């Protein structure tokens, strides 16, 4: 068996060339025959090119009929090196081994961060953080650390048990989070009169996690292309501030919908998937009903510590995100397509994907407005006025369907809370009307694809789903 682990801050442990050299070294140190073979091959050369090292590593591995290769931390390889490593392993080494009758088994370990998964999707996989035995190992680790902390600070047994439960649950299967939290002496157990210290502990970035997150952010934002960088920051901002987990089709819709021109431009669909753009900062969950549909995948931040890190480092501005989403949702829900239900152009609007964000906007615009107003310290600021005007315009747009009889108007007069309730209900009623009108007709096949009669471009069905009413239930 040969083993190699990649390390992002190790100069000799982050490239294909480094891996090949270590593999060759391990083999020739344990086999004198291969030692002489390698010396004979290398001695005439002044420089060993990567292509030569690939061939030599293959020869060394295939000299024996059965070999196991373990590549650990492949996600820590630099730039496009994971792709280079996997192409050599899967397309060169395995194919050559098969043709020669040799048996090579490869175990590849790494975070789900977008560069590795496309190559390994057809191979057996283990998502470690979802397995019960792994979670039990984390609990055992927490018990061990809690015992040390309890002895040091003389914690009661109840507090020790509470500590174990809190840390193991907060880790959500991630070892690095578990180690980081378990290393804190009190782990947020400073509520009795030491509030300032507790706040400092919650705000401070944990060293282990900061290093991991910094490395990922450096790659997907600071060294990425301008378009990929902007897309990643936008997605991360939406996920951190969203009122519920978002589906990939909703994120794609958000990129494509232009509320100023009241259209959905499918040319703005992101070609790369969320993992490719945001790496292991996000977690992707398949839809149970349509497990193979990328558009139906649910996206969340990988862990609360990732969200806190991005906020703490000003990568994501929570206030700006809530303001932007508030303005977008108000303008979107009040746009012309929502009031053109009897027009001939509506079918074209539906197929364009304009209503792809309707579900989220209708159910979440109000919480975003409330949070934006809470974060805005100056109620008279330009941004606060913009939000107020956008909400006022939205109310005006729905005046035609909000009840106008005298009793209703008297009930609403002077009560902004009641007005908001009526507006929310009016918007949700509008959504349900659209759903009932179009879902049964075959224009839209919920969560799968556009019907055969659709003129929408192939691959853009992600934008053409009219939401189910269950999400809108109050």
Per-residue pLDDT tens over the stretch 407-449: 454 444 444 555 566 676 777 776 666 666 555 433 333 333 3
Q: Count CA atoms closer than 13 A to 128's CA, side-chain side.
A: 12
Residues 373 and 457 in one domain: yes
Residues 8 and 25 in one domain: yes
* Residues written for the chain: 474
Per-residue pLDDT tens over the stretch 340-395? 656 667 778 888 889 899 889 988 999 999 999 999 888 778 899 999 999 888 88
Average pLDDT over residues 218-239: 91
Residues 364 and 464 in one domain: yes
Residues 6+ apart with CB under 8 A from 293: 287, 447, 448
Give the number of other Cβ atoms within 10 Å of residue 276's Cβ: 18
Residues 179 and 70 in one domain: no
Number of H helices, E strands in the chain: 21, 8
Which of 257, 455, 470 has the alpha carbon at shortest distance from 355?
Answer: 257
Do the Cβ atoms of 269 and 462 come closer than 8 Å? yes
Which of 38, 32, 106 has the alpha carbon at shortest distance from 72?
Answer: 106
C-alpha to C-alpha distance for 55 and 93, rounded to whole angstroms: 9
Which of 83, 118, 79 has the alpha carbon at shortest distance from 224?
Answer: 79
- In whole angstroms, what separates CA 389 from the centre of its chain? 33
Strand ranges of the sheet holding 246-247, from the earlier edge strand across to the other edge: 246-247, 298-301, 282-285
Residues 11 and 107 in one domain: yes
Domain that holds residue 186: 130-204
Q: What is the pLDDT of residue 185?
A: 42
C-alpha to C-alpha distance for 154 and 378, rounded to whole angstroms: 47
Residues 199 and 218 in one domain: no
Residue predicted with more confidence, 430 or 452? 430
Percent of the chain with pLDDT over 70: 76
Residues 279 and 154 in one domain: no
462, pLDDT greater than 60: no
Residue with tokens 């293959």: 58
- Euclidean distance between the first and the last CA atom of the chain, given in angstroms as a whole number: 58
Q: What is the pLDDT of residue 398?
A: 77
Residues 200 and 233 in one domain: no
Residues 227 and 363 in one domain: yes
Residue predicted with more confidence, 144 or 187? 144
Locate 210 and state its tokens: 């900061």
Do the Cβ atoms of 218 and 279 come closer than 8 Å? no
Q: What is the pLDDT of residue 179?
A: 57
Residues 152 and 53 in one domain: no
Segments in 353-381 forming alpha helices (H): 358-375
**Residue 242, φ and ψ in degrees, nearest 5:** -70, 150
**Residue 155, φ and ψ in degrees, nearest 5:** -80, 145
Residue with tokens 């510590």: 305
Tell me the whole-structure pTM to 2 decimals.
0.63
Percent of the chain with pLDDT over 90: 37
C-alpha to C-alpha distance for 102 and 95, rounded to whole angstroms: 10
Residues 115 and 160 in one domain: no
Domain stops at, among 157, 172, 204:
204
Average pLDDT over residues 276-296: 87
Residues 176 and 220 in one domain: no
Locate 434 and state its tokens: 């659209």
C-alpha to C-alpha distance for 49 and 331, rounded to whole angstroms: 58
Domain stops at, among 101, 125, 149:
125
Our count of domains for the chain comes to 3
Domain stops at, among 80, 97, 125:
125
**Alpha-carbon torsion angle 28, 33, 35, 39, nearest 10:** -150
Locate 355 and state its tokens: 């209503």
């Amino acid at each position: 068996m040969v083993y190699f682990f990649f390390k992002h801050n190790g100069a000799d442990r982050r490239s294909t060339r480094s891996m090949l050299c270590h593999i060759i070294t391990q083999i020739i140190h344990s086999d004198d025959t291969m030692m002489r073979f390698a010396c004979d091959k290398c001695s005439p050369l002044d420089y060993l090119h990567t292509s030569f090292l690939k061939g030599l590593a293959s020869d060394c591995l295939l000299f024996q009929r059965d070999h196991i290769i373990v590549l650990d931390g492949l996600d820590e390889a630099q730039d496009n090196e994971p792709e280079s490593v996997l192409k050599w392993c899967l397309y060169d080494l395995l194919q050559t081994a098969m043709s020669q009758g040799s048996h090579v088994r490869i175990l590849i370990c790494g975070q789900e961060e977008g560069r590795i998964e496309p190559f390994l999707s057809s191979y057996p996989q283990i998502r470690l953080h979802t397995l019960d035995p792994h979670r039990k190992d984390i609990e055992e680790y927490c018990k061990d650390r809690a015992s040390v902390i309890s002895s040091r600070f003389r914690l009661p047994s109840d507090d020790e048990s509470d500590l174990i439960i809190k840390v193991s649950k907060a880790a959500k299967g991630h070892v690095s989070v578990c180690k980081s939290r378990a290393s804190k002496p009190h782990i947020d157990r400073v509520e009795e009169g030491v509030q300032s210290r507790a706040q400092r502990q919650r705000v401070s970035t944990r060293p282990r996690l900061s290093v991991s997150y910094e490395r990922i952010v450096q790659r997907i934002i600071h060294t990425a292309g301008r378009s990929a960088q902007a897309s990643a920051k936008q997605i991360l901002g939406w996920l951190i501030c969203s009122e519920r987990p978002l589906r990939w089709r909703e994120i794609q819709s958000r990129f494509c919908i232009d509320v100023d021109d009241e259209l959905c431009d499918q040319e703005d669909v992101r070609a790369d998937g969320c993992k490719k753009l945001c790496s292991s900062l996000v977690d992707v969950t398949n839809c149970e009903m349509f497990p193979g549909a990328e558009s139906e995948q649910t996206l969340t931040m990988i862990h609360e510590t990732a969200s806190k890190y991005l906020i703490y480092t000003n990568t994501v501005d929570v206030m700006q995100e809530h303001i932007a989403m508030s303005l977008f949702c108000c303008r979107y829900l009040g746009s012309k397509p929502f009031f053109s239900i009897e027009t001939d152009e509506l079918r074209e609007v539906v197929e364009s994907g304009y209503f792809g964000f309707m579900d989220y906007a209708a159910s979440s615009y109000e919480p975003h407005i409330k949070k934006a107003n809470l974060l805005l310290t100056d109620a008279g600021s330009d941004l606060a006025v913009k939000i107020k005007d956008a909400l006022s315009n939205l109310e005006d747009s729905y005046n035609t369907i909000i009840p106008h009889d005298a009793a209703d108007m008297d009930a609403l007069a002077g009560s902004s809370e009641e007005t908001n309730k009526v507006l929310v209900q009016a918007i949700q009623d509008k959504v349900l009307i659209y759903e009932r009108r179009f879902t049964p007709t075959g224009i839209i096949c919920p969560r799968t694809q556009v019907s055969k009669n659709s003129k929408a471009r192939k691959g853009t069905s992600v934008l053409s789903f009219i939401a189910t009413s269950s999400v809108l239930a109050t």
